[in-house]
Structure 1
């Protein structure tokens, strides 16, 4: 797959590279990133190297790209946003963001860019994007809801984090769904979540 840099002039999404390893390791020391994702914890340089070689490279080769989130074209990594293959015409979106960019709308902008690219006929042309998060991750839920993902329910013990079963919230957006905030989310899911 041809690499695609995505930007709205405020957020830049680029393929993470070897030059980003130290910054990725630094970001992944944040307790909230470890709490809400499935990254190894503790997270070290070997984990970042494996991520680039074992996840990012094959992902770009098979239309499941991973982007570094930056707030300047040549700026440091402030987050990661990736797609995962969930069958023909379906991708799952996942993301994390560094503490310094939380609450500023950075991830909401990044997700908008990726949704536009994923649904575009000259992008990935997917029919469905799914999202899931561990119960309690209200910031992630707020981003998904703001980007038109419709709540589809609670999967009890539906996820696995470092060997432990966890409850998950699930949502999805279809190519035919409008991009704005989605109705129908339980207040307990997204209430109180900051704009990531």
Structure 2
């Protein structure tokens, strides 16, 4: 399947969030937030995280992803010119599928802002290419086991739990168990049943 991805990044908006491509002026903020304990624990970003890492990501991987039609990355802001407070993206875009990923500044967690951002990204992901969308058929979500906060966002977005992948994820040279869930274009985007009890309990990543 040939997938048309805009050569120029697009801006997505919700009632409280603006999603726009991270740029050079965001480098210090990205560096600051990616040094946070939760981001380091639950994502695959380098740790410790340096400004050089931010430059590689924002000025390299993000730009290349849009240009090569392989990923779409947005910075989460509260206004068009506001500071970056998180990141959400679609990676591995291929054959009608992509993987959803996200993280948020600690002071904004629990506010529902990431759920709003994810909803906007999913609208864009599933909208037909002729309507300025990606025309995807499926979006997949992964999280290391114990990341109940990420699971809650995916569950509210309508993702269906698909199982535990034993040693299915990698983080800085280690293989870790991870959860997987999927959302199809025609699925209802309402909180989905069928998620196991353990996905509701946030685990201390030090005990993994």
TM category (shorter chain) comes to over 0.9
Residues 1:118 and 2:125 are matched in the alignment: yes
Q: Which residue of 1 aligns with 2:171?
A: 161
| Cα distance in structure 1, aligned partners of 2:15 and 2:82 | 13
Structure 2 residue ranges without an equivalent (≥5): 1-5, 204-208
* Selected match of 1:38 from 29, 32, 44: 44
Mapping of residues 81-92 of structure 1, within 5 Å: 81-92=88-99
TM-score by length of 1: 0.95
| Cα distance in structure 1, aligned partners of 2:143 and 2:93 | 16
Residues 1:136 and 2:146 are matched in the alignment: yes
Q: Any idea what SS the aligned residue of 1:130 has?
A: strand
Structure 1 residue ranges without an equivalent (≥5): none
| Cα distance in structure 2, aligned partners of 1:120 and 1:190 | 30
Aligned CA distance change for structure 1 residues 175 and 38 (closer, same or farther; 3 Å): same
Aligned CA distance change for structure 1 residues 86 and 65 (closer, same or farther; 3 Å): closer
| Cα distance in structure 2, aligned partners of 1:22 and 1:28 | 10
TM-score by length of 2: 0.90
Detail structure 1 runs of 4+ shifted over 4 Å in the superposition. none
| Cα distance in structure 1, aligned partners of 2:123 and 2:36 | 29
* Selected match of 1:177 from 171, 187, 190: 187
Q: Which residue of 1 aligns with 2:3?
A: none
| Cα distance in structure 2, aligned partners of 1:81 and 1:88 | 21
